Amino acid sequence: ITEELKKHYALENVSISKSPFSTLTIEVLERAPSAVIKSGINLYYADKDGKFIGPADPAEATNTNFLNKVPQIWLAQEKQFSLNDQIVFPATLQFIISLFKMIPDRTGIALQGAIPQDEEGRLLYLVTAEGWQIYVDRQNDWEKQVTVLKNILKIKFKDNNRAGLQYIDVRYENRVYIK
């Protein structure tokens, strides 16, 4: 019964117990959204493992309070998904979730979305609320990339004048590119 339910519903856990007098109790726990995935004009929810759990409610998925809790990931190609399809690799999703907490906390820069640049999600473009992007690499030291970003913002943009800024690329060790 458990496996059959998990095939058709986005469930984290199913527990079944039998009580005396032929009573069957089924308790279910739904998987919670960890990200909103934008593919073309469609919005989807992905769980903590990056798997599809259902279409997103546009009103909720674009609500600022909700987006402060879960990141939005924009896919370059439009795709359709079915229950349990892998939308984003788990390591990529954890990287994005971490960056969506670390960058605003350490730099004061709000993030709007993440755009994976390859199938594995190794290279990401993070879109800031100001409209410019941050280029990061999941396979390099995350902490170091955020620290470099923080230092560049402090030194190069100490007056917070980022008008005209297109991107800051912190993917490479000992090099930063700014345009």
pLDDT tens per residue across span 127-148:
999 999 999 999 999 999 999 9
Give the CB-side neighbour count of residue 115, counting CA atoms within 13 A. 14
**Structure confidence at residue 11 (pLDDT):** 84
Q: Which two tokens stand for residue 132?
A: 């410019």
pLDDT tens per residue across span 68-88:
889 999 998 899 999 999 999
pLDDT tens per residue across span 1-60:
778 878 788 888 888 888 888 888 888 889 999 999 999 999 999 999 999 999 999 998
Please say whether the beta carbons of 92 and 121 come within 8 A. yes
**Structure confidence at residue 62 (pLDDT):** 82
**Structure confidence at residue 99 (pLDDT):** 96
Please say whether the beta carbons of 67 and 53 come within 8 A. no
**Structure confidence at residue 90 (pLDDT):** 96
Instruction: Mark 129-151 as b/e (b = at least 16 C-beta within 10 Å).
Output: eeebbbbbbbeeeeeebbebbbe
pLDDT tens per residue across span 86-125:
999 999 999 999 999 999 999 999 999 999 999 889 999 9
